[in-house]
Amino acid sequence: MHNSGSPETTKKAPTEILRRLTFADLPAVVSIERRSFASPWSPGMFVLEMSRESSVTLAATRGDRPVAYAIFSRYEEAWHMMNVAVAPEHRRRGVGSMLIGRALELIDADASLNPETDVTVPVTLEVRPSNRSAIALYEEFDFRRYGYRKGYYPDNGEDAMIMWRGDPAAAGVPEEALSAFPGA
C-alpha cells in the first residue's frame, strides 16, 4: 500500500517524461481518448478542464508527443480525478502509475501550501465496475470503494463505482451514506 504519491516498489521504469498538458497536445490527446473510451470526451471538454485555475493536468510524453494524460480538478472540499488514459500501445509499462503518482504528489503539495488546509485533501473518482485494470491501479494508490452512482454511463447505463482516497467525511459526504460502504 502507498501513502505517498509514488509506489515504493515499482518493477518498471517508464522512459516517458512528465510535464503539464498544453493546448498544443490536444490532437494527440483526443486521439488517445477516442481509442480508450466508449464515450470519449470532446475536444471542448478538454479545453474546459484545462482552462480551470485549480487543476492538475499532466502529459506523459515521448519525443514531446503525449502517450498518456491525467486531469484532476479541485472542487471546494475535494479533488476529482476527471480523466486518465494511456495510449493502448503504451499500457502495462507503469506509465499510468507514474502519472497518477505524480498528480497525487502535486495535489498533496498544494494542500501543504495552504496553512488553513494543511491536511491531505480527499480525492474522489468514478470508474466502471467492469474496468478492473483501472480499479487495480487506483487501489495501489489507496483509493477505496464507497458505493455507486446508478446508471452513470450513458452509452450502456452502467453504474459508476465511487472511490475515495482520504476521508470522504472530510469532504462533507454524510456519515449515513458512508456507513453502507465502509471501503474495501
Ligand X SMILES: CC(C)(COP(=O)(O)OP(=O)(O)OC[C@H]1O[C@@H](n2cnc3c(N)ncnc32)[C@H](O)[C@@H]1OP(=O)(O)O)[C@@H](O)C(=O)NCCC(=O)NCCS
Binding site residues, ligand X, CB under 6 A? 36, 84-86, 91-97, 127, 131-134, 136-137, 140
- Smallest gap from residue 17 Cβ to ligand X (A): 15
Which residue lies nearer to ligand X by CB, 7 or 43? 7
Q: What secondary structure, in 3-state letters, does the chain show?
A: CCCCCCCCCCCCCCCCEEEECCHHHHHHHHHHHHHHCCCCCCHHHHHHHHHCCCEEEEEEEECCEEEEEEEEEECCCCEEEEEEEECHHHCCCCHHHHHHHHHHHHHHHHHHHCHHHCCCCCEEEEECCCCHHHHHHHHHCCCEEEEEECCCCCCCCCCEEEEEECCHHHHCCCHHHHHCCCCC
**Which residue's C-beta sits nearest to ligand X?**
96
Q: How far is the CB of 21 from ligand X (least distance, A)?
A: 15
33 classed as catalytic: no
Question: Which residue is catalytic, options 77, 105, 126, 139?
Answer: 126
Smaller CB distance to ligand X: residue 96 or 122? 96
Toward ligand X, which CB reaches closer, 67 or 173?
A: 67
User: What dihedral angle (degrees, nearest 10) is formed by the CA atoms of 28, 157, 139, 43?
Assistant: 20
- C-alpha 158/C-alpha 20 separation (Å) is 32
53 is catalytic: no
To ligand X, the closest distance from the beta carbon of 146 in angstroms equals 15
Least Å distance, CB 75 to ligand X, is 17
Question: Between residues 157 and 174, which has the closer beta carbon with respect to ligand X?
Answer: 157
* Annotated catalytic residue, options 16, 33, 138, 146: 138
Residues annotated as catalytic (active site), given as ranges: 126, 138
